[in-house]
Structure 1
Amino acid sequence: MIRKLGLWLIWLGFIVYVVWFAPPLNIKLLYFLNPVALSAFSMVGIWLLIYSCLIFADGRMQQIPAWGFMLASIASGTVGLIPYLALREPNDQFSGEKDPWLALLDSKATGIVLTISTVVFLLFAIVFGDWSLFVQSFQTDKFIHGMSLALVLFALLFPYPTLLSDDMARRGLIKESQFFWIVALIPLFGPLAYLCLRPNIPTLK
């Protein structure tokens, strides 16, 4: 109950802050063509794919369909994702066959591709980006501001609502192990390493 309440408060607080307290929408092409902003926008997609690699398998065992929330998150980021995390019930089981989509998300190759893509995007931002311009756009533009905060939320929420620990248990890994904390405490690259190293889900009919 506390977990669910906490997630709903985070969800509501994020919406209220972005709508009423974040800087106004100040669309400038210079902001959005900055490699740092482009890379940050790409990181939203990376995070959604990271979550998808856990959520679609988890959704098989939930009463609520995962795909609807993930489609909503494509347009709204954490605003579409958090309700799924709040509504799902802890469950570390998986039954039935994996369809091609689940098999793809369950593959270590997917984690490797996401890791390589992340490194490319970060190097693009570091080498070619204007970081002072990004700080200025964060301070003056609602879209850049909200997107940046969403990236922080993606990282903070990944280990919180039992999604990660359930996925580990589903694969025969020990919940709350040292591996769990390495994945949880290293932003972005912890989850990416987990996708590259985790065993495949054993199918139970």
Structure 2
Amino acid sequence: MVRKIAFGVLWLGFVFYAFVLAPPNQPDTFELIKNLSTGQWQGINPLVIALFNLMGIWPMIYSALLFIDGRGQKIPAWLFASASFGVGAFALLPYLTLRKTNPAFPGTKNTLIKLLDSRITGIILTIGTVILVSYGLLQGDWSNFIQQWQSDRFIHVMSLDFCLLCLIFPALLGDDMARRNWQTQLYWLFALIPLFGPLIYLCLRPPLPETNVNVVSNQKVGV
């Protein structure tokens, strides 16, 4: 219960800060979002470009856990995972508030879960992330980014959203490792290294074991 309350308070606090306390929107915000979304990146700080695209990587990282975690939840995890592609932690924090601990995976994997469970998915996401981070760090203008962070609500909130996504990942990590019967001291590596820790986890985690529902049902009735 304490955990649910903490996530609920964090979500409400983030919403309040983003819409009340954050710097104001700039007149060209919509144009900036449109250009970032359509690849018209001329004149845009590479740090902003990298950050914007990394905010598309994060929902895929979370989807690799959420669609599996949702199999044992009463709430539709796919809805929150899908919404996170547009609003990031604004969608994931309510899910973390409402979900229950779920260290088991009932049933078999469908095509989507097989794809999300694949280490190849983790490797592809890691390669894309390395390219984006390298581009942003090597080509970006930090003084310009700081100035925009201080004056532009979109960039300001997007940056905080990125930090929150790094912070809350461990809330799903423990159950996902338990579902795989994977006990390793690498937990803290996955949990504490921002962005690359979760990516390393997706590349290394053992395949998700499947449970034959019919066998489990027969065992319960003594057949």
**The two structures share one fold, judged by TM-score above 0.5:** yes
- In the alignment, the residues of structure 1 paired with residue 169 and residue 78 of structure 2 have an alpha-carbon distance, to the nearest angstrom, of 18
- In the alignment, the residues of structure 1 paired with residue 107 and residue 2 of structure 2 have an alpha-carbon distance, to the nearest angstrom, of 31
Deviation, 1:30, is: 7.7
Aligned-residue CA RMSD (Å): 1.4
- In the alignment, the residues of structure 2 paired with residue 47 and residue 59 of structure 1 have an alpha-carbon distance, to the nearest angstrom, of 18
Look up the match of 2:200. 193
* 1:42-81 superposed matches below 5 A: 42-81=53-92
Look up the match of 1:123. 134
- In the alignment, the residues of structure 1 paired with residue 120 and residue 32 of structure 2 have an alpha-carbon distance, to the nearest angstrom, of 36
Alpha-carbon contact 1:27-1:141 (below 8 Å) kept: no
Letter of the structure 2 residue corresponding to residue 139 of structure 1: Q
Deviation, 1:81, is: 1.0
Residue identity over aligned pairs, in percent, reads 50
- In the alignment, the residues of structure 2 paired with residue 38 and residue 97 of structure 1 have an alpha-carbon distance, to the nearest angstrom, of 39
- In the alignment, the residues of structure 2 paired with residue 124 and residue 108 of structure 1 have an alpha-carbon distance, to the nearest angstrom, of 24
Structure of greater Rg: 2
Look up the match of 1:170. 179
Length-normalised TM-score, structure 2: 0.87
Deviations 1:9-53 (A, max 9, x none): 110000100111100001446896211001101111111111111
Deviations 1:149-199 (A, max 9, x none): 00110011111x3x110000101112xx42111111111111100000000
* 2:112 counterpart of 1:101: yes
- In the alignment, the residues of structure 2 paired with residue 137 and residue 58 of structure 1 have an alpha-carbon distance, to the nearest angstrom, of 37
Which secondary structure state, in structure 1, belongs to the residue aligned with residue 181 of structure 2?
coil
Length-normalised TM-score, structure 1: 0.94
Letter of the structure 2 residue corresponding to residue 92 of structure 1: P
Unaligned runs of 5+ in 2: 37-43, 213-223
- Describe the shift of the 1:27–1:180 C-alpha distance in structure 2 as closer, same or farther (beyond 3 A): farther
* 1:105-184 superposed matches below 5 A: 105-159=116-170, 161=171, 163-174=172-183, 177-184=184-191
Deviation, 1:127, is: 2.0
Look up the match of 1:3. 3
Deviations 1:60-104 (A, max 9, x none): 111111111112222211111111111110011112221111111
Look up the match of 2:211. 204
Letter of the structure 1 residue corresponding to residue 189 of structure 2: I
- In the alignment, the residues of structure 2 paired with residue 30 and residue 166 of structure 1 have an alpha-carbon distance, to the nearest angstrom, of 38
Deviations 1:107-160 (A, max 9, x none): 00000001000000011112221111111110000000000000110011111x
Letter of the structure 1 residue corresponding to residue 106 of structure 2: S
Letter of the structure 2 residue corresponding to residue 195 of structure 1: L
> Runs of 4+ in structure 1 displaced over 2 angstroms?
27-32
